[in-house]
Amino acid sequence: MSKYKDIFLDFDDTLYNTRGNAEIALAELYDELGLNRYFPALEAFTVPYWQANIELWEQYSASKITRDYLIVERFRRPLSQGMGLEVTRDFCLRTSDIFLGLCAHKPGLVEGARELLDYLHPRYRLHLCSNGFHEVQYHKLRASDTLRYFTTVILSEDAGYNKPSPEYFDYAFRVSGANPATTLMIGDNPVTDIQGAARAGLDTILFERWGPSPETEATFRVAQLTDIINIL
C-alpha cells in the first residue's frame, strides 16, 4: 500500500499540453492580427516569442518580475522584430488578451494525462499546484475537463508566492490540509516543481518530458506519465 495520501500535481506541460496548445494559438494569433504584413514567416514571430516567454517565466517563478511585466514583455520582444510594426504597451496588452483567450479554450492534454488522472483520482486526494494566472488556469481546466479531478486548486496568484518558494508550499499545505510526510509532488520542471517540493519535505516524481535531468534530485523519474501508475 502506498504511504501517500495527497498528490500535488503541476498543470502546465505536466498534464495540460501548454506548449502544443500555445503553438496552435500563436498561429491563430498571427493570422488574426495579420502579422504576415510585418514578418516574413510565422517562425520569425514564434521563435523569438518562445525565447522571451521561457526567460520571463523563469524570472517570474523566481519573483524577479511582476505578472504585468511578463504579460507585456513576452509580446513586446518578438513584436519589436516585425518590420514597420509600431509596438506600444496597449498593442502588447491587446495581443496578450487575444492570445490568452485563444489558449484558454484549447483542450489538449499531454499523452497519458487522462489515464493517469483516472487512475489517481479514486486512490488519492489530488491538488493542482500552478504558477499560472487564475482566470486562464480555470478556463484551461474546464476546457480540458480536468477540474473535476482536483480537491483543491492552488495557484500562485492566490498564494501570493510562486513555486518554488517555501511560502508557496506552506500555503499549499494550509489550504489542502496535506501533510508533507504523506504528500508527493509530480511535475516536469526540475526547479519550480521538484527542487521546491523537495525543500518543502515532499517526495517527488520528475516527469522528464524534456529529456533527462540528472543534476536534479528526484525521488522517482519517469519518461511517460503512465509510468507513474507503476510507482503508485
Measured CA to CA, the distance from residue 4 to residue 188 in angstroms comes to 20
Q: What is the pLDDT of residue 104?
A: 81
Which grid cell is 90?
A: 496597449
Q: What is the pLDDT of residue 198?
A: 95
Nearest Cα neighbor of 16 from 195, 146, 173 is 146
Torsion sign, CA atoms 200, 12, 162, 63? positive
Q: What is the pLDDT of residue 61?
A: 84
Q: What is the pLDDT of residue 63?
A: 85
Q: How many other CB atoms sit within 10 Å of the CB of residue 172?
A: 26
Mean pLDDT throughout 91-120?
A: 94
Cα angle for residues 113, 115, 116 (degrees, 5° grid): 65
Q: What is the pTM of this model?
A: 0.87
pLDDT band at 103 (very low <50, low <70, confident <90, very high): confident
Does 215 score more than 80 pLDDT? Answer: no
Mean pLDDT throughout 227-231?
A: 96
Q: What is the pLDDT of residue 42?
A: 97
Q: What is the pLDDT of residue 134?
A: 86
Nearest Cα neighbor of 128 from 63, 172, 170 is 172
Burial 29-48 (b: 16+ CB within 10 A, else e): bbeebebeebbeebebbbeb
Residues 168-212: pLDDT tens digits?
A: 999 999 999 999 999 999 999 999 999 999 999 999 999 998 888
Structural domains in the chain?
A: 6-16+108-231 (3.40.50.1000), 19-104 (1.10.150.240)
Measured CA to CA, the distance from residue 38 to residue 95 in angstroms comes to 15
Q: Is 194 helix (H, G, I), strand (E, B) or coil?
A: helix
- Rounded alpha-carbon distances, angstroms, from residue 93 to 90, 105, 150, 153, 165: 5, 19, 31, 27, 28
Q: What is the pLDDT of residue 1?
A: 62
Nearest Cα neighbor of 17 from 142, 117, 108 is 108
Give the type of residue at 212: P
Average pLDDT value for the chain: 94
